[in-house]
Amino acid sequence: MTRDFPSLEALEARCSEYAKPLLRELADHRHFPRLVAKLMEIEGTILRADIERALYEVNTEQSRDD
C-alpha cells in the first residue's frame, strides 16, 4: 500500500468480522484503494460505517506517528 492508503492488515485490525472477508477478497486486486473508496460511496450500510471508522483510526494513528 502507499503511505496515503492503509494496508489490508491495518484495516482488518480495526474492522468487524463482517467487513474482513470482503477486504481480504479486494486486497488481491491491484485497485484495492479505489475499490474501498467505491464501497465508501454506498450510503447507510454497516460495511461503509465499519470501513470509515477503520480508515479514520488508521489515519489518526499515522498522523500521530509523523
Kindly state whether residue 19 falls inside one of the protein's structural domains: yes
Domain carrying residue 54: 8-65
pLDDT of residue 58: 87
Q: Say yes or no to pLDDT of 1 above 50.
A: no
Contact 54, 16 (CB under 8 A): no
- The count of domains in the chain is 1
**pTM of the full predicted structure?**
0.60
Kindly state whether residue 46 falls inside one of the protein's structural domains: yes
Kindly state whether residue 3 falls inside one of the protein's structural domains: no
* Average pLDDT of the chain, as a whole number: 80
The grid coordinates of residue 39 equal 464501497
Kindly state whether residue 29 falls inside one of the protein's structural domains: yes
Nearest to 11 by CA among 32, 31, 30: 32
pLDDT of residue 42: 76
User: pLDDT tens digit string along 3-58?
Assistant: 577 888 888 888 888 888 888 888 888 888 888 888 777 766 777 888 888 888 98
